[in-house]
Amino acid sequence: MNLIEVMNRLQRGDKSTVLQLIQENKHRMDSVLEYCPSFQNDMDVVREAISVDPRNIRHASMELKNHFALEVVRRMGRTLAYMSDEMRGNREVVLEAVRNDGMAIEYSNLLDDEIMDAAIQQNPSAKSLIDMLDE
């Protein structure tokens, strides 16, 4: 499939082409979702994109970011940075994020003893970040 054919299919909203592109481009740093905004609120496309790379959540609609928040931060804690303020303040989401990557606490809108302890347990360097956030 050449580039013109791909672009024509994308303009027609061909979901199978988008899903194929996600799989074919899984080793690239950019996201097909970034260039296909009409699919940023499509559950199947976003699910496929985050299965390839959890950072692809950054290009999903806010509704789907919230829907997939827990799943994504469990796989890559620092994706908390791409979540809504609501999810950054959601105790369960934040706790899972710092359990995966203690440094994800940088993106949290919520600090309590359990969250701070989990972050430090996962990555002792999170202590210095917590100290800076606490100031």
Structural contact between residues 66 and 88, judged by C-beta atoms closer than 8 angstroms: no
pLDDT tens profile 5-21: 655 666 666 667 667 77
pLDDT tens profile 84-112: 999 999 999 999 999 999 999 999 999 99
Q: Work out the burial of residue 115: count CB atoms within 10 Å of its CB; fewer than 13 is exposed, 13-18 middle, 19 or more buried.
A: buried
Q: What is the pTM of this model?
A: 0.81
30 or 46, higher pLDDT: 46
Percent of all residues in the chain with a pLDDT value above 90, rounded to a whole number: 64
Domain ranges of the chain: 1-60, 77-135
pLDDT tens profile 20-45: 776 776 555 456 778 778 889 999 98
